[in-house]
Amino acid sequence: MKRQIYPFYCKFNDKAGKEQRVGLEISEGVKKLTDSYADQEGRVVARFFNTTMAKDTQIRYTMEPAEAFEVYVRMMKVFRSTAAVKDKLPPHKFSKEGKDIMTNLTIEKWVRGEKSGYALACQRGEVSHNVSLREGGFLYAAEVFKAMSVSCNWQDARPTKDDAVTALTTIKNHLESKPQAIGLLRQLHAMITGPAPAGGR
């Protein structure tokens, strides 16, 4: 099964002179549901990581499709700004071991003299990953969020009784209009289960 994954990377030296390799991966996600009308629905996942750090420092920022589109809109506003700006989205919150864990996503444009650049940063507790992007990469990431806000907007709905009745009625009408289909169905049944027992219909 194919899965859409869009990676972005940057490298820099920290204050101690050690090279840091930070990345952002935007991909499709799924949320399991307990509702009676659907089993699961689509999500957009932004995974932030640093390859020089332990795996448990990765941060997954999971969004509903509409939220991913909001990220696109905010990125475009930041891009059009003529001054340095930081735009922080409303934090995500979940509970773990009785404690509330906050996750923040920040969209940034920095300006130093005649130079400027962009970044997407994600922070959870004491862990923070800042992915610097050039103009092209920043705009491409924005378009990815926009596209995936549409492609991930789906639900795996459970069939209802009415759906089953409709499907059976369609098969019945097809068999009545094309009697030869009954023979084909018997052949298919025999291929799957073996010959019918003697005297069977």
* Inter-residue contact 44 to 152 (CB < 8 Å): yes
Sequence ranges of the domains in the chain:
5-157, 161-193
List pLDDT tens digits, range 140-153: 999 999 999 999 99
Backbone angles phi, psi at 106, to 5 degrees: -125, 135
pTM of the model: 0.76
As a whole number of Å, the CA-based R_g of the chain is 26
Q: Which of 122, 154, 117, 110 is closest to 138 using CA atoms? A: 117
List pLDDT tens digits, range 11-29: 988 888 999 999 999 999 9
Enter the CATH code of domain 5-157: 2.30.31
List pLDDT tens digits, range 100-131: 899 999 999 999 998 999 999 999 999 999 99
Q: How far is CA 168 from CA 54, 162, 163, 177, 194, in A?
A: 54, 10, 9, 14, 24
Residue 3, pLDDT score: 76
Q: Cα dihedral angle (52, 92, 60, 11), rounded to 10 degrees?
A: -40
List pLDDT tens digits, range 34-52: 776 778 999 999 999 999 9
